[in-house]
Amino acid sequence: MGGGKKKRTLTQMAKAQESRQRETKRLKMERERRLSRSESKAARIIPPDPRDKNVIKQLQSMKVITPYTVASRFNLLLSVAKDFLEDLYRQGVITYVSGGRNLKIYKPSER
């Protein structure tokens, strides 16, 4: 009863091939975008060297140092910036001013 499948015309086959090519190109671009995003995220996890002169000079030029300002200045995640500030505080580069559980405010130490 059913019979066989009808044969496509040349234009239908050409259109189908073009759409497959567009789809593979789109998937390739999407994969590349995803890889570039993961590379930029990796850069945001590594804090700068706390003993670097340029880093200390930038921190000394700031009046108030908060995790948000450090994260935005050095392109870090907020949690990484908080840990970075704790290290700087232990080394004596910055001094603790005030703050609560959620936000800590520091200032450059007078050296």
- Per residue in 60-111, pLDDT (tens digit) is 999 999 999 999 998 889 999 999 999 999 988 899 999 888 889 999 988 6
- Give the separation between CA 50 and CA 87, rounded to whole angstroms: 8
Could you tell me the pTM of the whole model? 0.61
**For residue range 69-81, what is the model confidence (pLDDT) as tens digits?**
999 998 889 999 9
Beta-carbon count within 10 A of 39 CB: 8
Q: Which two tokens stand for residue 61?
A: 């030029």
> What class is the 46-108 domain?
mainly alpha
- Segments making up each domain of the chain, as ranges: 8-44, 46-108
**pLDDT on residue 9:** 94
Q: What is the mean pLDDT of the chain?
A: 88
Convert 68-99 to b/e letters by CB count within 10 Å (16 or more is b).
ebbbeebebeeebbbebbeebbeeebbeeeee
CB distance 89 to 95 below 8 Å: yes
